[in-house]
Structure 1
């Protein structure tokens, strides 16, 4: 399974540790940045390439980290096909994948310690979507919301 990872300055150190952990586990990981610490970077800029890669199927799952995890979650969920959630405990790390087909786990680099982060990452990458009718029914409704609201936000073509 190909994974992606991204972080702003608030999660940069944790991203480096997770990247090492994943590579040491033999997993293929693409680092979408930040590639160096920059306290002035912005979470939408670092999560966008990861979210687009997930939406295009270039990576199966992703991990995004900012200070609280909230910013990367909000930004990533603007990309159609991305199902991102802020995760702070193991139950949601696996249930989000199993029931909701979550494909992007968001973490707070300033609020979760390294041992818990490693546990959450392990649980997330090992979890698989459970194809049950009720779960798929709900996901279909989410897809319909995405399509309906996407149509509302499309700008009209400029008149010539």
Structure 2
């Protein structure tokens, strides 16, 4: 089973809690980095904290939840070395890891219900990167990431 880190802002809190319980019941080692309050929490802080844990190699996979999933994906993708994909359907959840080697998926609690979110997380965590097919493309993404880090 996977070692997964998960986080959310206050809008994503209820769905995050559902996912934490579901993933633990499936045998995954889940670390919840919050939020654990319904008080307003700005998503950039949570997204950055999770993405930095991924970039540091503390976790191989992460899940972020906010209202739409879009904001968290933008934040996570700003952290060097992290690839995040907002998932809303089974095919994207599979291809996020299989084609793009995304270490993070994001979801929107205001657009994705609990049953679908659990299914998407299961699909993402059950699949692996298909390096023989997509390795060259991901290497190009990594090179761009390194290039922009140098320039910055």
TM-score by length of 2: 0.96
Runs of 4+ in 1 over 6 A off after TM superposition: none
Deviation of 1:148 after TM superposition, in Å, equals 1.3
| Partner in structure 2 of residue 77 of structure 1 | 77
Unaligned runs of 5+ in 1: 154-160
TM-score by length of 1: 0.91
DSSP-derived class of the 1:120 partner: helix
| Partner in structure 1 of residue 112 of structure 2 | 112
Deviation of 1:123 after TM superposition, in Å, equals 0.3
Distance 2:115 2:123 in 1: 13
Unaligned runs of 5+ in 2: none
DSSP-derived class of the 1:63 partner: strand
Deviation of 1:25 after TM superposition, in Å, equals 1.2
Distance 2:27 2:142 in 1: 33
Deviation of 1:3 after TM superposition, in Å, equals 0.3
| Partner in structure 2 of residue 149 of structure 1 | 148
| Partner in structure 1 of residue 137 of structure 2 | 138
Deviation of 1:47 after TM superposition, in Å, equals 1.3
Give the root-mean-square deviation of aligned CA atoms.
1.0
Give the length in aligned residue pairs: 151
Structure possessing the higher radius of gyration over alpha carbons: 1
